[in-house]
Amino acid sequence: MLNTRGVPNLEMVKKCFPDEQQLVKMKAIVECYEEIPCNPCSTVCPTNAIVIGDDINSIPKVYFDKCIGCGLCVVACPGLAIMMSKIEGEKVRFRIPYEFLPLPKPKDIWNAINREGEVIGTASIEKVITSPKQDKTVVLEVLVDYSLFYQFITVRCPDE
Amino acid sequence: MIKTELLIIGGGPAGLAASLAAAEAGVSSIVVDRNQSFGGQLIKQTHKFFGSEKQYAKTRGINIAKKMIEDTHKYENLITLLCDTTVLGVYPDLVATCLKDDKYYKIKAQAVIVATGAYEKTLAFENNDLPGIYGAGAVQTLMNVYGIKPGNKIIMVGSGNIGLIVSYQLLQAGIKVEAVLEAAPRIGGYKVHAAKLRRYGIPIITSRTVLKAHGEKALEGITTIALNENWEMVAGSEEYYEADALCLAVGLSPLSNIFGMLNVEMKYIPELGGLVPVLRDNYMTSVENIYACGDVAGIEEASSAIVEGRLAGFYAANGLKRSLDDKEINDCKKQLQLLRCGPTGEKIRSGLEKRGEGNA
Amino acid sequence: MRIKHHPILDFPEKQKIAFYFQNKKVYGYEGDTIASALHALGVKELSLSVPLQRPRGFYCAIGNCSSCKMIVDGVPNVKTCVTPLKEGMNIRVQTDKGFLYD
């Protein structure tokens, strides 16, 4: 699936998430499935929650109890493969990297999109976070229904 | 006759890194580039780079170029940058003839580093000469350097890193990519690049290639065809796609013409992109004081070009001033080893083994 | 065809430049190459191949392939993809191998 269509299967995706009990706080979900020479996520992490080690081809290992949800890795990842996630009852709060125009505004309702690019529901835009340190990678904080938990990956403007 | 210690031909990541390393070792260099600006292909790369900190990981290519050029300004007395300067030839006495502003110059060097990079390959199919069919780099240049949309309906051929990255950049420029076609049965580039495209619903179709392009004065559409496990075309599997731009990301080949003038020993290695110079451990070619680094020595990523350039710069400087910083050399070698030791480094490792001679 | 807003890059407004294509007055911008300015105007056919007179446009856009050659101010075989656009330039589609025209 990953090698022929560019999409991981559900089992691979679930392995990137911690136990749901740990998601009472924002945690980093690192969807890095391939051994490629790359390690900015681990070098930028202030608490050593993401470990790659000397061989920079190693797949990052996330220590969720050390992750403080700062989101530096979301912006550092050149593959835009990291997002943050927090369960809030019937909803899930995500922080995703976004590098397109137009940008949404807080309170907008956009389409929730899965890894195949399909519309799976709606996402309400909570925050649009920009800062010079992010170097043009915008971070969107969105709320989606809990039923979309493992499927959600990004948002798209409903007019498109 | 302009005199210099080191002449570096090509001001991309490898050439710039070489000039900085040589300057650190106290050797002066002139870096020439035929383009209007320095940075080589970095000036079109809007994405953040991979690798590790020493290769500017998580920095956008365009900013890596700016940083490297800024760094050369710190060595004003040692590094001279000459853009709009085309090297016409390099002679056995290490005199290079150049064209700048319609004037002819001669530069006499004690050592030369060739860092001329690569050019885009093309694909053979009926009507592949129609306007509207571009190399992936051309599309990237048009969008990211000149701010112009290459077309409205684009199809990308090739799912290596370049094909996947340029497709994403097309999306960022507001252009719909209809599909990415890949002749092989697997996606060629990093899966994270492919994942970004799939989120935007762009289909990546493996085992399919272009059979024919259609259009009278310019491209209007293409017919694609499936390939079986033996890379043979499957009759009856033709499909037509409407498109006003076709982007071919089918590989790069070293721009190694200069070596021909110097009788440098070359080998044809498909894994390295084509004709490459045989290099010794110190990046020197078979001809004394002629070095090579970056894509011209074998197609790889920009991260490797930066490290190779650094090594070639140190070695060329050592050839002139006998001062090698072993710690720096070993650090660079370790960086290259890490970049190449994983599964994605198989091609380059295999190519370098076939090329033989040194470990460069 | 020109990109005004981009999520990563800035494309500031530039000085307009008048030039001639096939003897018709048209406009490009400071910083354009001849080929990029023509592409922005929707012109894709830059030359005709010899001898079959097939339409040709640019391919590599960085001066390697020579597909983009045109007659610029009377001089043939100019690689328009790497030649900066200048005010008043006279650009024509090249249909032969190139001669020193009047």
Please indicate whether, in this complex, the C-beta atoms of A81 and B195 are within 8 angstroms of each other: yes
CATH of the domain spanning B122-248, picked from 3.40.50.300, 3.40.50.800, 1.10.357.10, 3.50.50.60: 3.50.50.60
Please indicate whether, in this complex, the C-beta atoms of B202 and A117 are within 8 angstroms of each other: yes
What confidence score (pLDDT) does residue B18 get? 98
pLDDT classification of B219: cutoffs 50, 70, 90: very high
Whether the CB of B102 is below 8 Å from some CB of chain C: the reply is no
| CATH class of residue range B2-119+252-355 | alpha beta
Question: Do C94 and C71 meet the contact criterion of CB atoms below 8 Å apart?
Answer: yes
Residues 6+ apart with CB under 8 A from B155: B177, B178, B179, B180, B181, B222, B241, B243, B245, B246, B247
Query: B192: exposed, middle or buried (C-beta count within 10 Å: 0-12, 13-18, 19+)?
Result: buried
Kindly tell me if the per-residue pLDDT of B10 is higher than 70. Answer: yes
Q: DSSP readout, A86-132?
A: EEETTEEEEEEEE--SSPP-TT-EEEEEETTS-EEEEEEEEEEE--G
Q: Which of B232, B252, B248, B229 is nearest to B351 (CA)?
A: B252
| Pair of tokens at residue B116 | 């001329």
Hey, where are the domains in chain C? 16-92
Please indicate whether, in this complex, the C-beta atoms of A4 and B196 are within 8 angstroms of each other: no
- Angle among Cα B3, B35, B251 to the nearest 5 degrees reads 115
B103-114 and B2-9 strand pairing: parallel
Residues 6+ apart with CB under 8 A from B216: none
Question: Do B209 and B120 meet the contact criterion of CB atoms below 8 Å apart?
Answer: no
What confidence score (pLDDT) does residue B23 get? 96
The single residue listed with the structure tokens 């681990």 is A42
Whether the CB of C12 is below 8 Å from some CB of chain A: the reply is no
Three-state DSSP class for B134?
Answer: strand
Whether the CB of A138 is below 8 Å from some CB of chain B: the reply is no
| Pair of tokens at residue B47 | 């994405």
Give the minimum alpha-carbon distance from A21 to chain B in angstroms, rounded to a whole number: 28
Please indicate whether, in this complex, the C-beta atoms of C58 and B141 are within 8 angstroms of each other: no
Please indicate whether, in this complex, the C-beta atoms of A31 and B196 are within 8 angstroms of each other: no
Question: Do B286 and B276 meet the contact criterion of CB atoms below 8 Å apart?
Answer: no
B2-9 and B29-32 strand pairing: parallel
| Pair of tokens at residue B90 | 């390099």
pTM for this predicted structure: 0.94
Amino acid at A158: P
Residue B42, phi-psi category: left (phi > 0), alpha (psi -120 to 50), beta (remainder): alpha
What confidence score (pLDDT) does residue A159 get? 78
pLDDT digits (tens, 9 = 90+) for A132-157: 999 999 999 999 999 999 999 999 99
pLDDT digits (tens, 9 = 90+) for B57-97: 999 999 999 999 999 999 999 999 999 999 999 999 999 99
pLDDT classification of C1: cutoffs 50, 70, 90: confident
Whether the CB of A83 is below 8 Å from some CB of chain B: the reply is no
pLDDT classification of C102: cutoffs 50, 70, 90: low
H or E segment and range at residue B91: none
Size of interface A-C (CB pairs under 8 A): 9
Q: Which of A72, A37, A71, A70 is nearest to A52 (CA)?
A: A37
Calculate what percentage of chain B has a pLDDT beyond 70: 99
pLDDT digits (tens, 9 = 90+) for B222-253: 999 999 999 999 999 999 999 999 999 999 99
Cβ neighbours of A97 in C, within 8 Å: none
Q: Which of B165, B155, B157 is nearest to B189 (CA)?
A: B165
What confidence score (pLDDT) does residue A1 get? 77
Hey, where are the domains in chain B? 2-119+252-355, 122-248
Kindly tell me if the per-residue pLDDT of B311 is higher than 70. Answer: yes
- Angle among Cα B297, B298, B300 to the nearest 5 degrees reads 125
Please indicate whether, in this complex, the C-beta atoms of B131 and C55 are within 8 angstroms of each other: yes
Question: Do C93 and C70 meet the contact criterion of CB atoms below 8 Å apart?
Answer: yes
Whether the CB of B195 is below 8 Å from some CB of chain A: the reply is yes
Please indicate whether, in this complex, the C-beta atoms of A78 and B340 are within 8 angstroms of each other: no
Q: CATH code for C16-92?
A: 3.10.20.440
Average pLDDT taken over every residue of chain B? 95
Give the minimum alpha-carbon distance from B20 to chain A in angstroms, rounded to a whole number: 24
B: neighbours with 3+ CB pairs under 8 Å? A, C
Three-state DSSP class for B29?
Answer: strand
B266-269 and B274-277 strand pairing: antiparallel
- Residue ranges in chain A whose pLDDT is less than 50: none
What confidence score (pLDDT) does residue A49 get? 96
Minimum Cα–Cα distance from A101: chain C residue: C7
Interface test with C, best of B146, B165, B168, B253 (most C CBs within 10 A): B146
CA distance B187 to B170: 19
Residues 6+ apart with CB under 8 A from B165: B45, B47, B189, B193
Kindly tell me if the per-residue pLDDT of C57 is higher than 80. Answer: yes
Please indicate whether, in this complex, the C-beta atoms of A36 and B50 are within 8 angstroms of each other: yes
Three-state DSSP class for B313?
Answer: helix
Report the sign of the C-alpha dihedral through residues A42, A40, B337, B307, in that order. negative
Question: Do A30 and A16 meet the contact criterion of CB atoms below 8 Å apart?
Answer: yes
CA distance B139 to B137: 5
Minimum Cα–Cα distance from B335: chain A residue: A56
CA distance B15 to B312: 9
Q: Which of C11, C44, C60 sits opposite B138 (nearest CB)?
A: C60
Give the minimum alpha-carbon distance from C67 to chain B in angstroms, rounded to a whole number: 9
Q: DSSP readout, A30-43?
A: E---S--SB-HHHH
Q: Which of B34, B138, B146 sits opposite C32 (nearest CB)?
A: B146
Please indicate whether, in this complex, the C-beta atoms of A99 and C8 are within 8 angstroms of each other: yes
Calculate what percentage of chain B has a pLDDT beyond 90: 95
Cβ neighbours of B66 in C, within 8 Å: none
Give the minimum alpha-carbon distance from C64 to chain B in angstroms, rounded to a whole number: 7
